Structures are given as C-alpha cells and as structure tokens.
C-alpha cells in the first residue's frame, strides 16, 4: 500500500493524539485527498533535515498511521488538524512526487496481545496520571486513564522526554510488556543521570 508520509521531529504512537499546523501546499493537498478517500497518512520520525521545504529523505523506517479526527482554521490563518495514531508500519520503497510529497510502500505491523494492568506497574500508572495533569497533555485529550498495558506503554512512550531514537526503539517493540520494561529502564537511566 502506498501511503503519504509526514516527516516530523517526533514519533506518533497508536492511540495518542497529535496537533499539527499545515501550510505547505503539498500537505494541504494531501489532507484534501485523505479526507475525500477517508484515509490517513503516515507520521515518520525525521532523522536528518528539516520538516519544511524539500522532501525529507532521511526518515525512520518505522512510523505510525495518522487518522484525521478534527480540523479548524487557526487564528494565525493556518489549518490545524488533530490526528490519532493508528497502526504501526514499516517503510519500504519511497518516491518523491513533483510537489515534494513523500510517498512510501508500507507494511503494516502486527501488535502484541494487550494485557490487563498489573500491580507491578503501579508506579508507571501513577506517572502517567501525573503527566496527564499538565495542561498541554490534557489539551490532547489524554486524561491519564488507561485500560491495558498497551495504552499505558504507548502514552508513556509518547509523552516522556525520550530521544527520537529511544522513541523509535519503543515503537518497534510489538509487545507492551517489552515496551514497559524498556520505558522503566530508560527512566532508571534518566534518574541515574540526574543524581550523578
């Protein structure tokens, strides 16, 4: 399947929301096509280069489908859209259209079985609840309540200040238990660096 790509300096995770401002003609045209077709586009991490201008060719090989949930004209005159993360995908062959929009063949990735929250994840659940109190997080509609390990892992991976590479490593893991273990390891490393 060919999917238009939107390279960003961030990583979108399934079930998480992202607000974007569109002004480049290629992305405005992409949005129009997506709305007409009832389809989404792909958000991929930008490994080198800039988000605007010529097509980015140094993108992550993993991405997340962006499903359009809302749009509005913003006070600054730009078009604002809110997307929700859908399926994860691996990027295959890419091509750049005349308008500099990047298209890619994508392979959808299977997700692991979602599991109920466990007592040993109490600290991570509490951390997510604390993050949800921040006005910017609340503005995204993430209220800190999750029903399973997959949502817990995705929201923490999305919200915590990990590097782009660390977030991509988390996106690559199919099992929420693996994601939560890596999140805990990264948090322990951050804490160690702060204490050093």
pLDDT in tens, 5-16: 999 999 999 999
Q: What is the pLDDT of residue 138?
A: 87
Contact 59, 44 (CB under 8 A): yes
- At 148, phi and psi to the nearest 5? -155, 175
Q: What is the pLDDT of residue 48?
A: 79
pLDDT at 111 over 80: yes
Task: Classify 12 as helix, strand or coil.
Answer: coil
Interstrand relation of 2-8 and 102-108 (parallel, antiparallel or unpaired) = antiparallel
- Domain boundary residue, one of 79, 108, 137: 108
Q: Are residues 57 and 89 in the same domain?
A: yes
Number of domains in the chain: 2
Exposure class string for 171-189: b at 16+ Cβ within 10 A, else e: bbbebbbebbebbeebbee
Q: Are residues 87 and 125 in the same domain?
A: no
Q: Are residues 145 and 174 in the same domain?
A: yes
| DSSP string over 19-78 | EEEE-SHHHHHHHHHHHHHT--EEEEEE-SS-SSSSPP--EEEEEEEEEEEEEEE-TTSP
What angle in degrees, to the nearest 10, is found between the helix axes of 176-195 and 122-132? 70
CA distance 114 to 34: 29
Contact 73, 93 (CB under 8 A): no
Per residue in 130-148, pLDDT tens?
Answer: 999 999 898 888 888 999 9
Q: Are residues 124 and 188 in the same domain?
A: yes
Is residue 171 domain-resident? Answer: yes
Is residue 61 domain-resident? Answer: yes
Residue-range definition of the domain harbouring residue 85? 2-108
Looking up residue 22, the CATH number of its domain turns out to be 2.30.130.40
Task: Report the Cα 7 to chain-centroid distance in Å.
Answer: 11
Supply the pTM of this predicted model: 0.93
Q: Are residues 95 and 152 in the same domain?
A: no
Q: Tokens for 180, please give them.
A: 């939560």
pLDDT at 83 over 90: yes
Q: Are residues 79 and 126 in the same domain?
A: no
Confidence of residue 52 (pLDDT cuts 50, 70, 90): low
Is residue 114 domain-resident? Answer: no
Is residue 76 domain-resident? Answer: yes
Tell me how many degrees the CA angle 85-90-94 measures, rounded to the nearest 5: 110
């Amino acid at each position: 399947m060919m999917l238009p790509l939107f390279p960003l300096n961030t990583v979108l995770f399934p079930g998480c929301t992202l607000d974007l401002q569109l002004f480049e003609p290629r992305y405005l045209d992409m949005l129009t096509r997506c709305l007409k077709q009832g389809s989404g586009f792909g958000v991929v991490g930008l490994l080198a280069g800039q988000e605007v201008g010529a097509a980015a060719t140094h993108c992550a090989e993993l991405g997340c489908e962006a499903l359009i949930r809302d749009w509005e004209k913003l006070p600054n005159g730009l078009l604002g859209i809110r997307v929700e993360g859908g399926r994860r995908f691996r990027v295959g062959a890419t091509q750049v259209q005349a308008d500099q929009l990047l298209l890619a063949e994508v392979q959808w990735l299977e997700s692991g079985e979602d599991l109920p929250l466990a007592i040993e994840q109490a600290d991570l659940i509490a951390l997510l609840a604390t993050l949800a109190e921040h006005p910017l997080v609340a503005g995204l509609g993430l209220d800190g309540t999750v029903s399973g390990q997959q949502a817990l892992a995705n929201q923490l991976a999305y919200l915590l200040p990990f590097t782009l590479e660390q977030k991509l490593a988390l996106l690559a893991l199919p099992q929420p238990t693996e994601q939560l273990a890596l999140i805990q390891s990264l948090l322990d490393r951050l804490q160690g660096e702060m204490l050093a």
